[in-house]
Amino acid sequence: MGVTIGRYLNDEFIGKRCLRMRKEGYLVEIRNVKGSDYYMISPLINEWWGGRQMSDMLPKLFFDHFKNTSFIAEIDGRIVGFIIGFLSQSELDAAYIHFVGVHPTYREQKIGKRLYQRFFNVVKQRNRNVVHAVTSPVNKASIAYHTKLGFDIEIGDREMDGVSVFSDYDGPTQDRVLFMKRLD
Amino acid sequence: MGVTIGRYLNDEFIGKRCLRMRKEGYLVEIRNVKGSDYYMISPLINEWWGGRQMSDMLPKLFFDHFKNTSFIAEIDGRIVGFIIGFLSQSELDAAYIHFVGVHPTYREQKIGKRLYQRFFNVVKQRNRNVVHAVTSPVNKASIAYHTKLGFDIEIGDREMDGVSVFSDYDGPTQDRVLFMKRLD
């Protein structure tokens, strides 16, 4: 799973606009994803993640087949965030969050929190009371963020910088931190 | 989506074993995937696809959350094929096949066909009467195979070697052929 890290892009226009919006207040709208969002979001991902090659992790199928549990955050029709998740087919009480991103300029304004909250609400309506997510141990921002949102870290086979990890979870050398949150 | 192409690996042991099995008859068992199959299949994928980097397309989440519509073919407990698919959450009459592979030595023995058939049967029980699959236009073997299995090719925006394709479907330069099959 990917959660964007806190890198600030040098985007003067958006910076100024954001400043203005902070002063004036602005409306973040959350809506379900549609297939064509893929073509907007896919090129943004590597940029939002500060140049890491992340877009391969989010092929088009997620935009075609998990629309009812995946959401876009927009300001004036411009995409500033997204959450892509689904209901587990195998674990009937569980849902899984695959990918979350917020435009670097619009971070720390609770857009991510609103996206997660929307996801939680929808999956609860579908009788899911557990949400899983997975991240990389190097993604400290993601670990801190999920912990703040009330996710527990599952106990893996070893610790790394004080965090329990599952060694080689996503293949050789691909250790992962597994999160689990119970919905009230 | 990936479907293995017809490359024969230089694997003398398996070759001999396969020859013996062809003479003697052998039992191919089809079962649901389990999470730990990921660690067996992931390293095999690039090998079965003749060195193409394919394993990133099949992260662990598919083995954790789509077990009831994903299957393994085994001979004497050895994995010789797999099909990974799911019920579309957005299209309530549809299912999607994400990845199919058969060990190069065991091809042309209807193992793939049995895997597809098992998938079709299971998704039909879940009231799905349409199956989608996607492949690359360069994967002629996959196009021929799906056509033989009764998939129709959806009409895209242009033709390539007589096959209708969707330009840039999976991102820039990533044209795709889209298949659709109605289940009886």
Position A53 scores a pLDDT of 77
Q: Which residues, in sequence order, are CB contacts of A29 under 8 Å at separation 6+? A: A73, A74, A75
Q: CA-nearest residue of chain B to A64?
A: B90
| Nearest-neighbour CA in chain A from B59: distance (Å) | 7
Q: What is chain B written as a DSSP string?
A: -EE---PPP--HHHHHHHHHHHHH--PPEEEE--TTHHHHHHHHHHHHTTT---GGGS-THHHHH-GGG-EEEEETTEEEEEEEEEE-SSSTTEEEEEEEEE-GGGTTSSHHHHHHHHHHHHHHHTT--EEEEEE-TT-HHHHHHHHHTTPEEPP-SEEETTEEEBTTTTSTT--BEEEEEE--
Interface test with B, best of A33, A46, A90 (most B CBs within 10 A): A90
Residue B3 has pLDDT above 70, yes or no: no
What is the tally of structural domains in chain A? 1
Which chain A residues touch B61 with a CB distance below 8 Å?
Answer: 96, 98, 134
pLDDT tens-digit profile of A47-90?
888 887 788 889 999 999 999 999 999 999 999 999 999 999 99
Which chain B residues touch A65 with a CB distance below 8 Å?
Answer: 86, 88-91, 94, 96
DSSP strands (E only) in chain A: 2-3, 29-32, 71-75, 78-87, 94-102, 130-135, 152-153, 158-160, 163-165, 177-182
DSSP state of A121: H
Position A171 scores a pLDDT of 86
Which chain B residues touch A42 with a CB distance below 8 Å?
Answer: 171
Q: Decide if B126 is inside a domain.
A: yes
Please, are residues B71 and B82 in contact by the beta-carbon 8 Å criterion? Answer: yes
| Of B42, B68, B94, Cβ closest to residue A89 | B68
Rounded to an integer, what distance in angstroms lies between the CA atom of residue B162 and that of residue B147? 14
Q: Decide if A23 is inside a domain.
A: no
Position A10 scores a pLDDT of 37
| Of B55, B89, B96, Cβ closest to residue A87 | B89
Q: Decide if B53 is inside a domain.
A: yes
Q: Decide if B142 is inside a domain.
A: yes
Q: The complex's ipTM?
A: 0.85
Interface test with B, best of A86, A89, A177 (most B CBs within 10 A): A89
| Nearest-neighbour CA in chain A from B14: distance (Å) | 25
Q: Which residues, in sequence order, are CB contacts of B39 under 8 Å at separation 6+? A: A168
Report the CATH number at residue A76. Answer: 3.40.630.30
Position B10 scores a pLDDT of 37
Q: CA-nearest residue of chain A to B92?
A: A65
Residues of chain A that touch chain B, judged by Cβ-Cβ distance less than 8 Å:
39, 42-43, 55-57, 59-61, 64-69, 86-91, 94, 96, 98, 134, 168-171
Which chain B residues touch A53 with a CB distance below 8 Å?
Answer: none
Least confident span in A96-110, B45-59, B73-87, B124-138:
B45-59
Cβ-defined contact of A98 to B61 (cutoff 8 Å)? yes
Q: CA-nearest residue of chain B to A69?
A: B89
Q: Decide if A90 is inside a domain.
A: yes
Which chain B residues touch A88 with a CB distance below 8 Å?
Answer: 64-65
Rounded to an integer, what distance in angstroms lies between the CA atom of residue A4 and that of residue B106? 43
Q: Decide if B119 is inside a domain.
A: yes
Least confident span in A6-20, A72-86, B80-94, B111-125:
A6-20
Cβ-defined contact of B88 to A64 (cutoff 8 Å)? yes
Q: Which domain holds residue A84?
A: 32-182
Low-confidence ranges of chain A (pLDDT < 70): 1-25
pTM for the model: 0.87
**Distance (Å) of CA B96 to CA A58, B40, B101:** 16, 23, 15
pLDDT tens-digit profile of B52-73?
778 888 999 999 999 999 999 9
Position A172 scores a pLDDT of 87
Rounded to an integer, what distance in angstroms lies between the CA atom of residue B116 and that of residue B98? 12
Please, are residues B49 and B6 in contact by the beta-carbon 8 Å criterion? Answer: no
